[in-house]
Amino acid sequence: MAKVGDDMKNIKVGLLGCGTVGTGVAKMLLVNGELIQKRLGTGLELKYVADTDTRTDRGIDFADGVFVDDAFKVVADPEVDIIIEMIGGESVAKALILQAFENGKHVVTANKALLAKHGNELVRAAAGKKVDLAYEASVGGCMPIIKTLREALIGNNIAKITGILNGTCNYILTKITNEGISFEEALADAQTGGYAEADPGLDVDGLDAAHKLAILGALAYGMRINFDDIYIEGISKITPLDIQFAGQFGYRIKLLAISKNTGEKVEARVHPTMIPVDNILSNVDGTLNAVSITGDAVGEIFLSGHGAGMMPTASAVISDTVDIARNLLSGSRTDRIPTMGYQAAKVRKIPVMSIDELVTHYYFRFEALDEPGVLSKISGILGDFQISLKTVHQMGRRTNGSVPVVMLTHYAREADVKNALAEINGLNVVENDPVVIRIEDKNNKY
């Protein structure tokens, strides 16, 4: 292994997984190796690339002995300083990372699902072995959001994080918005274009964005990673009709990951959200990701960039790798910057607010029969549950003998909304389940 202060020797890196991002990492180390050396002062030597797929041509000419099919051999090699885990998934990746820690190696990963579900255990294991666990590429691809929260904003109380954290969903919603096509058509287009997986569930059901929100919330507020308590709703029910109506009220629909620190509790939710067209996030389109962070000193700051893809993600992986290499070369303690941003002893289990307690503005669309008394029945029930209406529109477009009735509410409580809508659903003048979309206004006071 490279020794402290031994700046003549290269730092040796073992890359596990040579799929899209792994290939990007290998390419960046080889093609931009000289540039990295000029900045780091020492070379990063790719000692191994491990992948069970030994047939695919990655367009890289690896030296003899570099490409291996056994990742456990890489984490066992005493010469390797830093392991870059690009395998993804939970079981093998976790076993390899734990073995790497056991063998005193530092680890860089982009594996947000693993961190969201097992991150607390991995952080403890790394600390126990006094090695680094770095994960910039796990959230937002190339956007330096982890470094921003962990280092740049260290003097700030973070009040709020709002992000577009899934490029697949953003691509699909942008397509529906611009072309008026259905969710199914937009998803098929994303799959043809290589922007969505054959099994798109993790993305379109909101889970991938929630994995990322779990990591950001923990970093921002000094809480344990708590994925299980995040409220998650995907985009599969979003229709061109609701997007069109949203536009008429001055909103666009995005899949937002929202987290707010309310003091004793944290709000954490992922769902389709109406945001004003002049909100900067409204104009982040296609596969781009973006995140807005509100801190008590900085106010609001905004990052945007490619949240996925070979070279953007590799850029974040190399940033982490160089940080670790700098620690190695300077002899810094690995906990110089705590893995989760706060001193381990200060990380708390902060409760996540139930979605039922949420207070926000809502958009409802009912398919109602176009006959006398229908509106008063619906609004009467809403009134019974203390839900006050800001505006009501009968949109005048008949669908199967019914008419879309759209309502925007003043602040209302989610539990009241659920109860009222259940009662309205029982009316024989309303067809199908109502559409409910939460609104995040610029001046949302909650």
Whether the CB-CB separation of 145 and 291 falls below 8 Å is answered with yes
Chain centroid, CA 381 distance in Å: 37
If one asks whether residue 307 binds ligand HSE (CB under 6 A), the answer comes out as yes
- Looking at beta carbons only, is 307 or 404 nearer to ligand HSE? 307
Minimum CB separation of residue 100 from ligand HSE in Å reads 22
Neighbours of 22 (CB within 10 A): 26
Among 51, 81, 208, 242, binds ligand HSE (CB under 6 A): 208
Minimum CB separation of residue 24 from ligand HSE in Å reads 13
CA distance 428 to 412: 25
Among 13, 25, 134, 308, binds ligand HSE (CB under 6 A): 308
Q: For strand 106-109 and strand 133-134, is the pairing parallel, antiparallel, or unpaired?
A: parallel
By C-alpha distance, which of 101, 13, 4, 19 is closest to 322?
Answer: 13
**What residues from 122 to 151 belong to the interface with ligand HSE (CB under 6 A)?**
none
First to last CA, the chain: 52
If one asks whether residue 440 binds ligand HSE (CB under 6 A), the answer comes out as no
Q: Which stretch binds ligand HSE (CB under 6 A): 164-172, 296-304, 315-323, 364-372?
A: 164-172
- Looking at beta carbons only, is 165 or 293 nearer to ligand HSE? 165
If one asks whether residue 409 binds ligand HSE (CB under 6 A), the answer comes out as no
Tokens of 128: 């126990």
Could you say which of 117, 175, 212, 254 is catalytic? 212
If one asks whether residue 190 binds ligand HSE (CB under 6 A), the answer comes out as no
If one asks whether residue 259 binds ligand HSE (CB under 6 A), the answer comes out as no
Burial class of 396 by CB neighbour count within 10 A (0 to 12, 13 to 18, 19+): exposed
If one asks whether residue 167 binds ligand HSE (CB under 6 A), the answer comes out as yes
Residue type, position 113, single letter: A
Q: For strand 266-276 and strand 231-232, is the pairing parallel, antiparallel, or unpaired?
A: parallel
If one asks whether residue 295 binds ligand HSE (CB under 6 A), the answer comes out as no
- Looking at beta carbons only, is 10 or 177 nearer to ligand HSE? 177
CA distance 443 to 300: 13
Place of tokens 């509100």: 294
If one asks whether residue 203 binds ligand HSE (CB under 6 A), the answer comes out as yes
Question: Angle 112-128/207-221 helices, nearest 10 degrees?
Answer: 40
CA angle 121, 126, 132 (to 5 degrees): 135
- Looking at beta carbons only, is 208 or 242 nearer to ligand HSE? 208
Tokens of 101: 């820690």
Q: Is 349 a catalytic residue?
A: no
Minimum CB separation of residue 170 from ligand HSE in Å reads 8
Whether the CB-CB separation of 387 and 416 falls below 8 Å is answered with yes
**# residues near ligand HSE by CB under 6 A:** 7
If one asks whether residue 109 binds ligand HSE (CB under 6 A), the answer comes out as no
Place of tokens 């002995």: 65
Minimum CB separation of residue 169 from ligand HSE in Å reads 7
Minimum CB separation of residue 208 from ligand HSE in Å reads 5
**What residues from 69 to 98 belong to the interface with ligand HSE (CB under 6 A)?**
none
Among 42, 111, 162, 166, binds ligand HSE (CB under 6 A): 166
Q: Which stretch binds ligand HSE (CB under 6 A): 160-168, 352-360, 391-399, 407-415?
A: 160-168
- Looking at beta carbons only, is 137 or 275 nearer to ligand HSE? 137
Neighbours of 394 (CB within 10 A): 14
The secondary element (H helix, E strand) that includes residue 439 is strand 430-439
Q: Which residues bind to ligand HSE, rule: CB under 6 A?
A: 166-168, 203, 208, 307-308
Please identify every residue annotated as catalytic: 212
